[in-house]
Structures are given as structure tokens and as C-alpha cells.
Amino acid sequence: MQLTHLDDNNQPNMVDVTLKEDSSRVATASGIIEMSRSAFDDIINKKAKKGPVLQTAIIAAIMGAKKTSELIPMCHPLLLTSVKCESEELPELPGFKLIVTVKLKGQTGVEMEALNGVSIGLLTIYDMIKAVDKTMVIKDIRLEYKSGGKSGEYRRH
């Protein structure tokens, strides 16, 4: 099997998408950060010393999605048409879940952009509340859904 990121001489190669048709592409990824009750309460009660944690994490997730090609070596720079991030409170952990959905009309998918957005958003939460809890765990970063392109639709069950 020929790997798409290696050329005939086994050298790294960004996939050539020149001849691929544009299609509408969507990807949604999610991830969780688990933390102490006191860190969770500080975020919920807006008492974090570094400012509004969830709002800042959402901005960071959007920025992370937009900068994916600068961080992941073989990702194409993309003209994203939409990046949305939602946060969910998970008081039973305690913690939060971030869900990032990325869209474009183009020649390559946006799965990595959604995954990178989630990762950067969760890391931002960690950074902003680490003075309260250094034991936080970032986990379950995963693709939830993708559509468009040759491989079609995927939905996690």
C-alpha cells in the first residue's frame, strides 16, 4: 500500500489535490477536560484569575482550527468558511466538553482543523485554570462526524 504522504522515493510529500473537485466539507470533533471541583466551580462562577475561561477557550479553538496547517506538517492551508465551538458543562466529572465544527467548500477535508481546534481550546482551559488544579486530564479528543469528499460521510456511534 502506498502511503499518501510519501512519494515514489519514500520522501515526505503533501498530497496533490489539484485535480480534486470542490465539495462542501464538514467535520465535527470533541474532547473533554476533567478537573477538580474547585477548578470547575471557579470557571462556572467566573472567578478564574486569568479571566473568562470558556469564552477564551472558544476563541482559542477557532484560532487553532484556522492555524492547523502551520502546526501539522502535511495539512493544506485552507480557506475555512465556518468554525463554531460549543462548550458543555460536565458537573458529574467535573469538567467540560468542547465540540468544534469546521466547514469549507474545497478540495480537501477539515477533520484535522476540527481536531486541532478542540485540542487548542482544551489546552487553553488548562492554561487558564492550572493555578487551581495541575492534575487536570485532557482526554477523548476524537472525530465525531465528517462529510464531503471521496470517502463520504462518517458518524461516530
3-state secondary structure of 31: strand
Q: Residue 63 class from Cβ within 10 Å (0-12 exposed, 13-18 middle, 19+ buried)?
A: middle
- Active-site residue identified among 8, 127, 133, 140: 127
Is the peptide bond preceding residue 12 cis, with omega within 30 degrees of 0? no
Beta-bridge partners for 106: 23
Asked about 127 being catalytic, the answer comes back as: yes
- Torsion over CA: 117, 123, 126, 129 (sign): negative
| Residues marked as catalytic | 127
